[in-house]
Structure 1
Amino acid sequence: MRRKLAAGNWKMNGSVAALAQIEAMKPAATDAIDVLICPPALLVAQAATISGDIAVGGQDCHANASGAHTGDTSAVMLKEAGASHVITGHSERRTDHAESDENVAAKSQAAWDAGLIAVICIGETLDEREGGETLNVIGTQLAGSVPDGATAENTVVAYEPVWAIGTGKVPTLDQIGEVHDFMRAELEKRFGKDIAGGVRLLYGGSVKASNATEIFATSNVDGALVGGASLKADDFVPIMTALAAS
């Protein structure tokens, strides 16, 4: 059985005071599911000291362990700060920083090398969805962004349709299920059924308390990567509860 995962991406939001929200989430972090919060890099170390059973992760890492890369953070640094996970390939990184699948794969490998779990993000734009290219795009990104050596222990894959992130728009349950079933099948072709069957597949894109239950009941959805709704315990705890009940 794959352990379900409720992951929160705070993006460039939060403050030292906002870490109180993690404290407020802790009572709902039951043994039934895993919970992960990814705050800005400057808050990772402090979050890790108070998070209890909630895992803490970074939002990005450099492909190199160290070097002349001003402003970047390595996976090794995140690990030392107390992180257990790091998000790689989020659509905002792909768009804002022109990250390619090759870049994402290199960062994911660096995460593994540092002992972190890589949460590898993939997803199509609205034009690609409307053009009938969704599965082609997902297949290409999945093949190019996930390095050889992926296992259930070092990899989580998050499907985040770009057009649904922060917009309030959500694909139909059939569309979500189609992509998640496709990702599972593609992973099985590449890594074998035993490994692919253990890799958790998350859905992300305007997940909130009102739609979480039906999303979590969808085929091959093992949890969620949540943006804005993870910033406050009052919004995120109902999502955690829905996942634990699914």
Structure 2
Amino acid sequence: MRQLIAGNWKMNGLVADSLSLARAVADAAPGLACDLLVCPPATVIRPVAEALAGSVVAVGGQDCHTHANGAHTGDVSAAMLRDAGAAWVILGHSERRTDHGETDTLVRAKVAAAVGAGLTPIVCVGELEAERLAGREQEVVGRQIRGSLPEDFAGVVAYEPVWAIGTGRTPTEADVAAMHGFIRAELVAHLGERGQSVRILYGGSVKPSNAAALMAVPEVGGALVGGASLVAADFLAIARATHGG
């Protein structure tokens, strides 16, 4: 299966800058041996999707509500993301879990809403630094997988050690291999044979200088890229570091 390089632009980008970044990625995308996805802020999904129409670069959202509509001021539904041109959505990112108190149960409900609207979910799991130092990383990630993924899950999982996001720090390749192997086993235990085909992305300070080593780790099915996805040259360098890229 081709690796997936997904860019999470987070709360960055007005229309002009977002269009410039999207077009730079699309221009260099043909011939890359990976799948490409950009997830801009909700306010610019439609213009970015229109700019990328006909290209090989997919578009996603960064979160969605559990309901399709209703009295939920400031929220965005999965149906709205789809209507704006998104085909994917990131769910359960550590910044949502930490800053907004999102639970596994809530993430699971969002997964159902996303799938119901025709979106492919990328569900994030990962441990805090204190949890890793206490040797509880597998306990935490295993609980998140079982709690956040419905038994008919058919999306993507992203492992993001929370302590590595935006810090410039990354786990060792051995640590990444161990966790991705554990996640694969948990997916199979939870989903059955279908768990063998779920892509597992790595996320956490992925950059051009470490991308090749990370993408070569067994069970790493791509990357969820944060800061480096805001610079087209860096994002594309990571894409070129994939298997055959």
Provide TM-score, normalisation by structure 2: 0.96
Aligned residue-pair number: 241
Instruction: Please state how far the C-alpha of 1:148 moved relative to its aligned partner.
Output: 2.1
Instruction: Please state how far the C-alpha of 1:53 moved relative to its aligned partner.
Output: 1.3
Distance in 2 between the 1:162 and 1:12 partners?
18
The aligned residue for residue 87 of structure 1 is 90
The aligned residue for residue 49 of structure 1 is 50
The aligned residue for residue 118 of structure 2 is 115
The aligned residue for residue 70 of structure 1 is 73
Amino acid at match of 1:73: V
Amino acid at match of 2:89: V
Decide whether the 8 Å contact of 1:28 with 1:240 is kept in 2.
Answer: no
The aligned residue for residue 215 of structure 1 is 214
The aligned residue for residue 178 of structure 2 is 178
Instruction: Please state how far the C-alpha of 1:233 moved relative to its aligned partner.
Output: 0.5
Are 1:167 and 2:167 matched, yes or no?
yes
Amino acid at match of 1:183: I
Decide whether the 8 Å contact of 1:11 with 1:227 is kept in 2.
Answer: yes
Instruction: Please state how far the C-alpha of 1:245 moved relative to its aligned partner.
Output: 2.5
Say which SS state the counterpart of residue 122 (structure 2) adopts: strand
Distance in 2 between the 1:90 and 1:98 partners?
11
Greater shift in the superposed pair: 172-181 or 183-192: 183-192
Decide whether the 8 Å contact of 1:229 with 1:235 is kept in 2.
Answer: yes
Greater shift in the superposed pair: 16-25 or 69-78: 16-25
| Match among 129, 133, 137 for residue 136 of structure 2 | 133
Instruction: Please state how far the C-alpha of 1:31 moved relative to its aligned partner.
Output: 5.7
Distance in 2 between the 1:11 and 1:142 partners?
23
Say which SS state the counterpart of residue 124 (structure 2) adopts: strand
Gaps spanning 5+ residues in structure 2: where? none
Distance in 1 between the 2:32 and 2:152 partners?
28
Distance in 1 between the 2:87 and 2:164 partners?
27
Decide whether the 8 Å contact of 1:121 with 1:157 is kept in 2.
Answer: yes
Are 1:157 and 2:128 matched, yes or no?
no
Per-residue CA deviation, residues 104-129 of structure 1 (Å, 9 max, x unaligned), is 00001100000000000010000000
The CA RMSD over aligned residues, in Å, is 1.0
Per-residue CA deviation, residues 4-43 of structure 1 (Å, 9 max, x unaligned), is 1000000000111122111111133236211000000011
Say which SS state the counterpart of residue 220 (structure 2) adopts: coil
Distance in 2 between the 1:79 and 1:188 partners?
29
Amino acid at match of 1:28: A
Decide whether the 8 Å contact of 1:28 with 1:237 is kept in 2.
Answer: yes
Percentage of pairs with the same residue: 54
Distance in 2 between the 1:184 and 1:95 partners?
25
Distance in 2 between the 1:31 and 1:112 partners?
28
The aligned residue for residue 228 of structure 1 is 227
- The 5 A counterparts of 1:7-26 are 7-18=6-17, 19-26=19-26
Greater shift in the superposed pair: 228-237 or 202-211: 228-237
Distance in 1 between the 2:37 and 2:2 partners?
13
Decide whether the 8 Å contact of 2:33 with 2:240 is kept in 1.
Answer: no
Provide TM-score, normalisation by structure 1: 0.96
The aligned residue for residue 203 of structure 2 is 204
Greater shift in the superposed pair: 161-170 or 25-34: 25-34
Gaps spanning 5+ residues in structure 1: where? none
Decide whether the 8 Å contact of 1:28 with 1:241 is kept in 2.
Answer: no
Distance in 1 between the 2:212 and 2:131 partners?
27
